[in-house]
Amino acid sequence: MPSASRDEWRSEISALLHLAIPVVLSELGWMAQGVVDTIMVGRLGPDAIGAVALGNAVFYTPSLFGIGLLLGLDTAVAQAYGRADHDDCHRWLAQGIYLALAIAPALMLLVFLASFGYARFGIAPEVAHPATAYLRVLVFSLPPLLIYAASRRYLQGVGQVKVITVTYVLANLINWAGNWLLIYGHWGFPALGVRGSALSTVIARFGMALSLMAFAWRYERRRGHPLFHHWALPQWQRIRALLRLGLPAAGQITLEVGAWNTATLAAGWVNPIALATHQIALNYASITYMVPLGISSAAAVGVGHAIGARRNFTARRTGWIALALGTAFMLLAGVVFLIVPRPLIELYTSDPRVLALGPSLLWIAAAFQVFDGIQTICTGALRGLGETRIPMYANFVGYWILGLPLGLFLCFTFHWGIHGLWTGLTLALIVISLTLLLRWSREARRLV
């Protein structure tokens, strides 16, 4: 390979890592909020762990649908930035904020109504009651979460990713302190149990939204492009464009998260121990997933920048480099799950029933790590090109036609229990990853 080509690859790897590392840390920070909640309520017992799991399962499906609607900002802002059109970046952010504020009330109502459903779905009362209380407090974190999401997509699109990491570090410190004060009633605060954990998360998310808007304002003021100087009014054509990109992305996220949350509900039908173990193993799988998810966001921005600047070869290289980095990490994560499953479970609980069941779930998680990484990064690279429909179709077929029905069948008809659910979901990830890898390969060839 000629020296110039090696330099180009090094330059692309460096640029992608510059974007990816802070975004990966930010995704881990997002995941850490749920992990902190789960760990902090752990001393209340398996029922409390299960309640937080069910509360988040119901909350995250509609909230991530809202976040998904805003993913079109990745494409719009990144491509505008690639064209050096900074005013257009501002206009896209304004439309994202309007869209976030418009959808928040409907999503809040949906979450609140869903809080009445735990007992109706056969969840044990000792888990259903605290899960309901947790969810009815957590719902108030939805508006700031959506404003944060729009601000974050904007900052990523203009290459300002370190401030997102700083925001998450501060938010997790606030959440940890709030959990410590409000769950157990330290320093004279009321002991609110799982409701205290939810209230702490609400406070942290308001802080996240304010922090990112402040960072965006400071960044644009220092560049000489005041963010609020010519703040755009609602522009329905742009909002429709965001919806055209965002609705399939939101559908893809909802299908994926909805499948895993359905598995969480099904684990609750098995027994509280299966539910608690499922949640702990899912937390670990979600932690590792955050790394390719962050690389996926960086790939969407990097590919979008290159397309906006009409550098098709760069867009192609960025996608393949992202896939290589993410796959390598997920391979390593799978090895860790295989080698030390029990010590990982012991970080959450000392309950012997959970410790007996947990390692086998982490072994199944090890089997799907690479496939999970491939499908996630391909989704981001395709989003940078403006393609958001194929990932939605792949997730629908993979999870809802194949994986989830098979998992429920193995769980309740063949009596494999929680292992049956996870086996079906593993099949789904294999199908989705191969489909999206083929699609990206086809689009990458078209670029050149």
3-class SS string, the chain: CCHHHHHHHHHHHHHHHHHHHHHHHHHHHHHHHHHHHHHHHHHHCHHHHHHHHHHHHHHHHHHHHHHHHCCHHHHHHHHHHHCCCHHHHHHHHHHHHHHHHHHHHHHHHHHHHHCCCCHHHCCCHHHHHHHHHHHHHHHHHHHHHHHHHHHHHHHHHCCCCHHHHHHHHHHHHHHHHHHHHHHHCHHHCCCCCHHHHHHHHHHHHHHHHHHHHHHHHHHHHHHCCCCCCCCCCCCHHHHHHHHHHHHHHHHHHHHHHHHHHHHHHHHHHHCHHHHHHHHHHHHHHHHHHHHHHHHHHHHHHHHHHHHHCCCHHHHHHHHHHHHHHHHHHHHHHHHHHHHCHHHHHHCCCCCHHHHHHHHHHHHHHHHHHHHHHHHHHHHHHHHHCCCCHHHHHHHHHHHHHHHHHHHHHHHHHCCCCHHHHHHHHHHHHHHHHHHHHHHHHHHHHHHC
Give per-residue pLDDT as tens, 170-226: 998 999 999 999 998 888 888 888 899 999 999 999 999 999 999 888 888 887 777
Average pLDDT over residues 389-398: 96
311: left (phi over 0), alpha (psi -120 to 50) or beta: beta
pLDDT at res. 390? 95
| Residue 1 confidence (pLDDT) above 50 | no
Half-sphere exposure of 408 (CA within 13 A, CB side): 16
Distance CA 411, CA 392 (A): 26
Sign, Cα dihedral of 342, 27, 251, 386 = negative
pLDDT at residue 269, as a whole number: 84
Are the beta carbons of 52 and 277 closer than 8 angstroms? no
Average pLDDT over residues 350-367: 90
- Residue 169: its pLDDT value, please? 87
Q: Decide if pLDDT at 275 tops 90.
A: no
Confidence label for 47 from pLDDT (cuts 50, 70 and 90): confident
Q: Is the pLDDT of residue 107 over 50?
A: yes
Nearest 5°: phi and psi at 160?
A: -100, 85
User: What does the pLDDT average to over 225-248?
Assistant: 87
pLDDT digits (tens, 9 = 90+) for 280-307: 899 899 889 989 988 998 999 899 988 9
Backbone angles phi, psi at 70, to 5 degrees: -90, -5
The candidate with the shortest Cα–Cα distance to 297, out of 395, 393, 379, is: 379
What single letter denotes the amino acid at residue 79? Q
Distance CA 29, CA 77 (A): 23
Burial of 369 by CB count in 10 Å (0-12 exposed, 13-18 middle, 19+ buried)? buried
| Band (4; pLDDT cuts 50, 70, 90) | very low
Per-residue pLDDT averaged across 248-253, rounded? 90
Which pLDDT does position 111 carry in this prediction? 93
Task: Please say if the pLDDT value at position 409 is more than 50.
Answer: yes
Cα 82 from Cα 321, distance rounded (Å):
19
pLDDT of residue 60: 81
In the chain, % of residues over pLDDT 90: 49
Q: What is the pTM of this model?
A: 0.80
* pLDDT for 3 beyond 70: no
Q: Of 179-188, 367-376, 402-411, which range is least confident?
A: 179-188
Residue that has been written with the tokens 């989705």 in this structure: 432
Per-residue pLDDT band for 271 (boundaries 50, 70, 90) equals: confident
Is pLDDT at 122 greater than 60 in this prediction?
yes
Can you say whether residue 351 is alpha, beta or left, with left for phi > 0 and alpha for psi between -120 and 50 degrees? beta
State the chain's mean pLDDT as an integer.
Answer: 89
